[in-house]
Chain A
Amino acid sequence: MFSVFEYILIAVYVAVLLIVSRWMGLQAFSWMPPQATAEAQRVDDLFSFLVSIGAFILLGLIGVMVYAIAFHRAPPEDYTEGHPSRGDARLEILWTATPTLLVVWIALQSFNIYQQLNILGLNQIVHLHTPQQEAGGKGAGGRGNALFQMPLFESAPAVAATVSDAPKPASETIDVFVKQWDWSFRYPNNVTSNQLHLPINRSTRLNLQAQDVIHGFYVPEFRLKQDIIPGRKIDIVLTPIRPGKYRLKDSQFSGTYFSLMETDVYVESLAQYNQWLTQTTSSEQTPINQAVAENIQPPKTLFNSGWYTVTPAQPGIANKRKLNNDT
């Protein structure tokens, strides 16, 4: 298959590739937003590792193609065969084993990092706060959720058994309430606000609860994302390590004003955090909700369809959700 010269060429090319892909892996850190949580550092390490491997494979194969285009062109009208080899068992075993080992390596790395992430996925003790459920009724959804608690799933694969879904300790718990299209947060001293304030270097648990449709909790600098599903209480625990102001976004498509469902996140020292908590009262004027504002006064667009939209709920948890004439 190969001549001596080609073997040397391949060896040199592989060496260059190793250097280039390692360099790209190091560059990968700068492609990400700032690291504002301990979890973010782990995720970026993994991304750097993936970029290195990916660059090696990509440049390796594309290099071969470019080489072939440069040196293996046939004169027109020459339809003879390039080489008579129809396959090579050793080569095929090699290129089956290589991706196998690579993905095992990637999977183990990802698994380790996932364990370090300290993310609480789904809190297994799901509270369905629906009238029927409390009355002991069993609807389709009751069965659906029981599905997740069936003994069948308690004997999860051994390898995954080490991934714990048990509630993790956290120093602070904040309730997060979402609805179309409004974020509100209830702090331990019962203060509610539209801003999320987090003390730095302490683990905070967020109890996520949605009222109407599926939303998602996402701050790019935190590298954390969790869908918020109506009818379930889902917790995530995070530890911010970088003071500053961030934007919290809705990561699961939630309808007309989905793009406007953003709010501010402040990571500050414990003293500042406590000061903010004592100074803020629930009756404080919240900033006007963007979705409500736009629903009342739509911006001028070139094309106006006038199609149906859900009327945004008035902000604030104290307000009862206004019933739309369509629900």
Chain B
Amino acid sequence: MTHDFSQEMIEDRESQNQQGNTWREYFSFNTDHKVIGIQYMVMTFIFFLIGGLLAMLIRAELLTPESNLVDRPLYNGLFTMHGTIMIFLWIIPFNAGLSNYLVPLMIGARDMAFPLLNAISFWILPPAGLLLLSSFFLPNGTAQSGWWSYPPISLQVPGDQFINGEFIWIVSLVLIGISSIMGAVNFVTTIFWMRAPGMTFFRMPVFVWSVFSAQLLQLINLPALTAALILLLLDLSFGTQFFKPDENGDPIIYQHLFWFYSHPAVYIMALPAFGIFAEVLPAFSRNPLFGYRSVAIATLGIAAISIFVWVHHMFTSATPGWMRMTFMATSMLVAIPTGIKAFAWTATIWRSKLHLETPMLFAMGGAAMFIFGGVTGVMLAATPFDIHVNNTYFVVGHFHYIVFNTITMAIFAAIYYWFPKITGRMYAEGWGKLHFWLTFIPANITFFSMHPLGLQGMLRRVSSYDPQYQGWNIIASLGSFLLGASTLPFIANIVGSWLYGPKAVDNPWHATGLEWTTSSPPPRDNFEEIPIVTRPPYDYGNPKYSVIVNSDNSE
């Protein structure tokens, strides 16, 4: 297991145990999973801010029906880069960072299974991200064909330039994919082999279950995307004809390969968010997670079903009727395990002792909005309705209810919840609550407005639109500017508290879970000695957690 622990590294670890982390640690090839986790989280947050700025530019253009802020090629570049950055450089790697920090702590391991591989998979990302951003400075700009990059439209590039936006987009995505696969190998191995004595599968926190399921999906489905991108690159730059219809190629094959990964990708993003809800909700409602075992199995169930639903993105492509009906049925199945989860969260809150601190607000807000996103998702699975709203703002609204209102809210919940553990300091509660309301209300304004637009037939990706759509567009745009502003109190709170916040205790939330049994921040090897697990997870009601030992919550 630890075959890449050389003697050198062991000495290195011992020397690190003696000294604390300086800021230089974070710019080095450090193999500590906690350092790597923070590297991931901080870097992806910077990309989140960039992606958000692009989104605000898009919404600024859509304030008026005419095209008057950016010209059309630039607009197409903006939404392409917004989608690509938010998915591949924010949510997926942020989840990887959070999982990196927490999984070894939660299962009682000293580190990940392959520390060196872990560092490599992080350090692939910054160059790939910078490469992607560099395409803004090319003479003909970034890729302009949307984050799906469907051929033949993605193959329409200036013929005399070998290095063009699309080329850079593909290379960058392949690099990010390689990083993700390395990470997935590491996570699956770690969860399988590195658990502490007594940590059986059904004693693992649901967050670990969800990381396990999500990373299995990466292993199974990501190669399909990598293959599709490599074939696309060959078509683009080396004259092959895999996807060129006028030369006997088939563009529909690309759509199948692409969605075979990119639908599960949504679950790769969403499952860790569900895992975060399953950690935060019990801690602040003081109840065990209701129906823990069925929630854990539902996590795997979502992953398994999500492999077989990809064609629902192609209902209006050249998809025969039998295929439409088959994939309508499989897509509907997803509602069953996700329904189990939503009911379990609700039952956990029922008759509880609620403490509404910031992480709980974000978790409850995210869970509530996930139910809305799930309802519109079931609607979209119904083929006849999907044929009407496919590629309209209804889909954009549904998707953002999942990726922002659910997943990004969960990410904020996680940042506030584990902030004392990661930094050893406490954030400012008032600023956190302000951040929640500044996020929750504008997010609903922005993304709800997109549903009526879609029902009325406003198509996604348009840079100008019929005047009849302007009303809802103004509302959505104003909401999005507020949403952009909402990150400011968050950044101020996090940076200020990290540097000057009051010292946090080891377990400020009186939460169960092995990560709270060690000091804040944890030592290099995580635990003084490896814990032995004897109790089920979410052991709220155990006097150990309900009788206050240190009531100083630094508030």
**Which residues of A come within 8 Å of B, CB atoms?**
31-33, 42-43, 46-47, 50-51, 54-55, 57-58, 61-62, 64-65, 68-69, 72-74, 76-88, 91-92, 95-96, 98-100, 102-104, 106-107, 109-111, 113-114, 117, 119, 121-122, 124, 126, 128, 130, 132-133, 137, 139-142, 144-145, 148, 153, 156-157, 159-161, 163-165, 212-214, 216, 218, 220-221, 223-227, 229-232, 234, 247, 249-260, 294, 298-310, 325-327
Contacts A130-B248, A227-B318, A303-B71 given; does A99 touch B339 at CB 8 Å: yes
Contacts A31-B452, A225-B391 given; does A302 touch B339 at CB 8 Å: no
- B79's nearest neighbour on chain A, judged by CB, is A253
Q: Which residues of A sit under 8 angstroms from B68, Cβ to Cβ?
A: 299-302
| CB-based contact B153/A87 at 8 Å | no
| CB-based contact A107/B144 at 8 Å | no
| CB-based contact A61/B288 at 8 Å | no
Cβ of B249 < 8 Å from any Cβ of A? yes
| CB-based contact A110/B74 at 8 Å | no
Contacts A86-B290, A95-B340, A121-B320 given; does A110 touch B72 at CB 8 Å: no
| CB-based contact B73/A307 at 8 Å | yes
Cβ of B242 < 8 Å from any Cβ of A? yes
* 14 residue pairs bridging A and B, Cβ less than 8 Å apart: A54-B375, A72-B354, A76-B355, A80-B353, A83-B352, A86-B288, A87-B294, A92-B291, A104-B332, A160-B322, A216-B391, A231-B250, A251-B459, A258-B461
Contacts A148-B320, A213-B152, A229-B251 given; does A130 touch B246 at CB 8 Å: yes
| CB-based contact A225/B388 at 8 Å | yes
| CB-based contact A259/B465 at 8 Å | yes
Residue of B318, B347, B452, B546 with highest tally of chain A CB at under 10 A: B318
Q: A54-B375, A86-B292 are in contact. List 4 more A-B contacts (CB 8 A).
A: A58-B375, A121-B319, A294-B72, A301-B68
Residue of A103, A126, A221 with highest tally of chain B CB at under 10 A: A103
- Separation in Å of the A101 CB from the closest CB of chain B? 10
- A309's nearest neighbour on chain B, judged by CB, is B73
- B148's nearest neighbour on chain A, judged by CB, is A253
- Separation in Å of the A54 CB from the closest CB of chain B? 4
Q: In the bound complex, how far is the Cα of B320 from the Cα of A124, in angstroms?
A: 8
Cβ of B20 < 8 Å from any Cβ of A? no
- A299's nearest neighbour on chain B, judged by CB, is B67
- B452's nearest neighbour on chain A, judged by CB, is A31
Q: In the bound complex, how far is the Cα of B325 from the Cα of A4, in angstroms?
A: 44
| CB-based contact B335/A99 at 8 Å | yes
Q: In the bound complex, how far is the Cα of B244 from the Cα of A309, in angstroms?
A: 19
Contact mask B365-395 → A, CB, 8 Å, 1/0?
0011001100110110011110110111000
Q: Which residues of B sit under 8 angstroms from A57, Cβ to Cβ?
A: 371, 375
| CB-based contact A253/B456 at 8 Å | no
- Separation in Å of the B327 CB from the closest CB of chain A? 10
- Stretch from B155-163, B169-177, B431-439, B476-484 that touches the partner: B155-163
Q: Which residues of A sit under 8 angstroms from B292, Cβ to Cβ?
A: 86-87
- Separation in Å of the B420 CB from the closest CB of chain A? 16
A50, A81, A82, A251: which contacts B391 (Cβ < 8 A)? Answer: A251
Q: In the bound complex, how far is the Cα of B164 from the Cα of A14, in angstroms?
A: 58
- Separation in Å of the B375 CB from the closest CB of chain A? 4
Q: Which residues of A sit under 8 angstroms from B69, Cβ to Cβ?
A: 301-303
B246-267: which residues lie under 8 A (CB-CB) from chain A? 246-253
Q: In the bound complex, how far is the Cα of B352 from the Cα of A104, in angstroms?
A: 33
Q: In the bound complex, how far is the Cα of B376 from the Cα of A227, in angstroms?
A: 23
Q: In the bound complex, how far is the Cα of B339 from the Cα of A99, in angstroms?
A: 6
Cβ of B306 < 8 Å from any Cβ of A? no
Q: In the bound complex, how far is the Cα of B316 from the Cα of A250, in angstroms?
A: 13
Contacts A69-B356, A96-B294 given; does A231 touch B246 at CB 8 Å: yes
- Separation in Å of the A171 CB from the closest CB of chain B? 22
- A257's nearest neighbour on chain B, judged by CB, is B72
| CB-based contact A96/B326 at 8 Å | no
Contacts A74-B355, A216-B391 given; does A231 touch B67 at CB 8 Å: no
**Which residues of B come within 8 Å of A, CB atoms?**
66-74, 76-77, 140-141, 144-146, 150, 152-153, 156-160, 164, 241-242, 244-253, 285-288, 290-294, 316-326, 328-329, 332-333, 335-336, 339-340, 342-343, 346-347, 349-356, 364, 367-368, 371-372, 375-376, 378-379, 382-385, 387-388, 390-392, 452, 455-457, 459-466, 510, 536, 538, 540-541, 545-548, 551
Q: Which residues of B sit under 8 angstroms from A79, Cβ to Cβ?
A: 286, 353, 510, 545-548
B71, B77, B343, B375: which contacts A298 (Cβ < 8 A)? Answer: B71
| CB-based contact B249/A42 at 8 Å | no
| CB-based contact B371/A141 at 8 Å | no
Q: In the bound complex, how far is the Cα of B386 from the Cα of A83, in angstroms?
A: 43
Contacts A57-B371, A256-B144 given; does A308 touch B157 at CB 8 Å: yes
| CB-based contact A214/B287 at 8 Å | no
Q: Which residues of A sit under 8 angstroms from B335, Cβ to Cβ?
A: 99, 102-103
Contacts A111-B328, A225-B388 given; does A141 touch B375 at CB 8 Å: no
Q: In the bound complex, how far is the Cα of B347 from the Cα of A95, in angstroms?
A: 11
- Separation in Å of the B378 CB from the closest CB of chain A? 7
| CB-based contact B245/A32 at 8 Å | no
Q: Which residues of A sit under 8 angstroms from B156, Cβ to Cβ?
A: 213, 255, 310, 327
Q: Which residues of B sit under 8 angstroms from A114, Cβ to Cβ?
A: 321, 324-325, 328, 383-384
Number of A-B contacts (CB under 8 A): 371
| CB-based contact A160/B321 at 8 Å | yes
Q: Which residues of A sit under 8 angstroms from B355, Cβ to Cβ?
A: 74, 76
- B339's nearest neighbour on chain A, judged by CB, is A99
- Separation in Å of the B84 CB from the closest CB of chain A? 14
Q: In the bound complex, how far is the Cα of B472 from the Cα of A31, in angstroms?
A: 13
| CB-based contact A254/B317 at 8 Å | no
Q: Which residues of A sit under 8 angstroms from B320, Cβ to Cβ?
A: 121-122, 124, 148, 153, 165
Q: In the bound complex, how far is the Cα of B342 from the Cα of A253, in angstroms?
A: 35
Contacts A46-B385, A110-B382, A121-B321 given; does A253 touch B145 at CB 8 Å: yes
A96, A100, A119, A305: which contacts B71 (Cβ < 8 A)? Answer: A305
Contacts A81-B540, A82-B287, A96-B336 given; does A140 touch B248 at CB 8 Å: yes
Q: Which residues of B sit under 8 angstroms from A325, Cβ to Cβ?
A: 159
| CB-based contact B290/A98 at 8 Å | no
- A124's nearest neighbour on chain B, judged by CB, is B320
Contacts A50-B382, A76-B355 given; does A65 touch B326 at CB 8 Å: no
- A119's nearest neighbour on chain B, judged by CB, is B387
Q: In the bound complex, how far is the Cα of B317 from the Cα of A188, in angstroms?
A: 26
Q: In the bound complex, how far is the Cα of B383 from the Cα of A74, in angstroms?
A: 46
- B555's nearest neighbour on chain A, judged by CB, is A76
- Separation in Å of the B379 CB from the closest CB of chain A? 5
B343, B352, B376, B463: which contacts A259 (Cβ < 8 A)? Answer: B463
Q: Which residues of A sit under 8 angstroms from B285, Cβ to Cβ?
A: 68, 72, 82
Q: In the bound complex, how far is the Cα of B298 from the Cα of A96, in angstroms?
A: 10
- Separation in Å of the A252 CB from the closest CB of chain B? 6
Q: In the bound complex, how far is the Cα of B382 from the Cα of A2, in angstroms?
A: 36
| CB-based contact A229/B318 at 8 Å | yes
| CB-based contact B385/A68 at 8 Å | no
Residue of B321, B342, B368 with highest tally of chain A CB at under 10 A: B321
| CB-based contact B546/A88 at 8 Å | no
Q: In the bound complex, how far is the Cα of B349 from the Cα of A61, in angstroms?
A: 11
Q: In the bound complex, how far is the Cα of B551 from the Cα of A104, in angstroms?
A: 51
Q: In the bound complex, how far is the Cα of B248 from the Cα of A137, in angstroms?
A: 9
Q: Which residues of A sit under 8 angstroms from B464, Cβ to Cβ?
A: 259-260
Q: Which residues of A sit under 8 angstroms from B541, Cβ to Cβ?
A: 80-81, 84
| CB-based contact A141/B249 at 8 Å | yes
Q: Which residues of B sit under 8 angstroms from A224, Cβ to Cβ?
A: 387-388
Residue of B71, B285, B336, B546 with highest tally of chain A CB at under 10 A: B71
Q: In the bound complex, how far is the Cα of B294 from the Cα of A307, in angstroms?
A: 53
Closest A-B pairs by Cβ, 10 of them: A220-B457, A139-B248, A144-B250, A74-B353, A160-B322, A81-B541, A99-B339, A82-B352, A231-B245, A163-B321
